[in-house]
């Protein structure tokens, strides 16, 4: 039998990339791809996303090219644990325990980068803030921790097109990824993460309702944050 037609361990290899199950057995492979400056597709707790090393200029630019995304549109980062956030963004103005209540979960927090951020200046140039995710998805968090870096993360779709909850939703883009990790059909719908701006002391602003708006507001107000009513 032609070896190119063989399928084993649930893997499918073709000209459109290499599909793997999103299990910890394949996490080290994903880590090595990230360290090599490659782009991979991964499931999160909301949508499928394209991910790469946030400190690799070439890999970040590749994501923009794959999506047809304007370079003026910022990318969020993903880290493995809540305690990692302080290495990339300013958190000391936040109430104790707030981030641990919000994350891991379907929330993107917008924070100031600050002078001590270890992020490359080339990521989202000109912006003093950064969106940070800690998804409630063990697979991507293991990849983050193993890569010892933040991942640049954005939805796996062409810009302006519907987000992906199944790897087949972005099959036309598989060929641009080193690996596509299949976590099945994601149950959260296409709303994506709730985006909340926490850059101001004692204030919050919901920038995108996403899939967890009410739960997020409840946590913010329980920590005595007030809604910022100023214009965006």
Mean pLDDT (whole number) for 177-187: 97
Dmax of the chain from CA atoms?
Answer: 66
Mean pLDDT (whole number) for 160-181: 96
User: Does residue 68 fall inside a structural domain?
Assistant: yes
User: Does residue 139 fall inside a structural domain?
Assistant: yes
Q: Buried b vs exposed e over 139-151: b needs ≥16 C-beta within 10 Å?
A: bbbbbbebbebbb
For residues 22 and 181, the answer to whether their CB atoms sit within 8 Å is: yes
Residue 133 has pLDDT above 50, yes or no: yes
* Number of structural domains found in the chain: 1
Q: Buried b vs exposed e over 57-88: b needs ≥16 C-beta within 10 Å?
A: eebbebbbebbebeeeebbbbbbbebebbbeb
User: Does residue 1 fall inside a structural domain?
Assistant: no
The dihedral through the CA atoms of 7, 182, 143, 37 has a sign that is positive
**Is the full-model pTM beyond 0.85?**
yes
Domain that holds residue 40: 18-226
* pLDDT, tens digit (0-9, with 9 covering 90-100), for 63-103: 999 999 998 999 999 999 999 999 999 999 999 999 999 99
List C-alpha distances in Å: 43 to 48, 100, 111, 179: 4, 22, 24, 12
User: CATH number of the domain that 161 lies in?
Assistant: 3.90.870.10
User: Does residue 10 fall inside a structural domain?
Assistant: no
User: Does residue 157 fall inside a structural domain?
Assistant: yes
Q: Report CA Rg, the chain.
A: 18
* pLDDT, tens digit (0-9, with 9 covering 90-100), for 52-65: 999 999 999 999 99
Tell me the helix, strand and coil percentages in the chain, rounded to 5. Answer: 30, 25, 50
Residue 190 has pLDDT above 80, yes or no: yes
User: Does residue 9 fall inside a structural domain?
Assistant: no
Instruction: Quote the percentage of the chain above a pLDDT of 70.
Output: 92
Q: Which of 96-105, 121-130, 190-199 has the least mean pLDDT?
A: 121-130
User: Does residue 138 fall inside a structural domain?
Assistant: yes
Query: How many whole angstroms separate alpha carbon 3 and alpha carbon 16?
Result: 17
For residues 90 and 112, the answer to whether their CB atoms sit within 8 Å is: yes
Query: How many whole angstroms separate alpha carbon 220 and alpha carbon 102?
Result: 8
For residues 152 and 54, the answer to whether their CB atoms sit within 8 Å is: yes
Beta-carbon contacts of 211 under 8 Å, excluding residues fewer than 6 positions away, are: 46, 106, 188, 189, 191, 192, 193, 194
User: Does residue 144 fall inside a structural domain?
Assistant: yes
Could you tell me the two tokens for 111? 């924070």
Could you tell me the two tokens for 8? 């084993």
């Amino acid at each position: 039998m032609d070896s190119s037609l063989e399928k084993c361990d649930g893997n499918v290899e073709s000209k459109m990339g290499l599909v793997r199950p999103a299990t910890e057995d394949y996490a080290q492979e994903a880590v090595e791809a990230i360290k090599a400056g490659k782009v991979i597709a991964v499931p999160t707790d909301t949508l499928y996303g394209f991910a790469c090393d946030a400190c690799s200029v070439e890999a970040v630019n590749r994501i923009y090219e794959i999506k047809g995304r304007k370079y003026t549109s910022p990318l969020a980062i993903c880290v493995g644990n809540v305690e990692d956030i302080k290495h990339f963004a300013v958190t000391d103005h936040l109430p104790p325990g707030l981030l641990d209540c919000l994350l891991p979960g379907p929330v993107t927090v917008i924070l100031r980068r600050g002078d001590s951020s270890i992020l490359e200046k080339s990521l989202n140039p000109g912006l003093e803030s950064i969106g940070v995710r800690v998804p409630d998805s063990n697979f991507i968090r293991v990849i983050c921790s193993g890569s010892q870096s933040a991942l640049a993360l954005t939805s796996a779709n062409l810009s302006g097109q519907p987000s992906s909850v199944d790897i087949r939703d972005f099959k036309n883009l598989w060929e641009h990824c080193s690996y596509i990790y299949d976590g099945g059909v994601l149950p959260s719908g296409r709303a994506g993460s709730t985006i909340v701006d926490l850059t101001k002391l004692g204030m919050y602003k919901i920038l995108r309702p996403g899939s967890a708006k009410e739960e997020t507001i409840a946590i913010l107000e329980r920590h005595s944050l007030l809604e910022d009513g100023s214009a965006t």
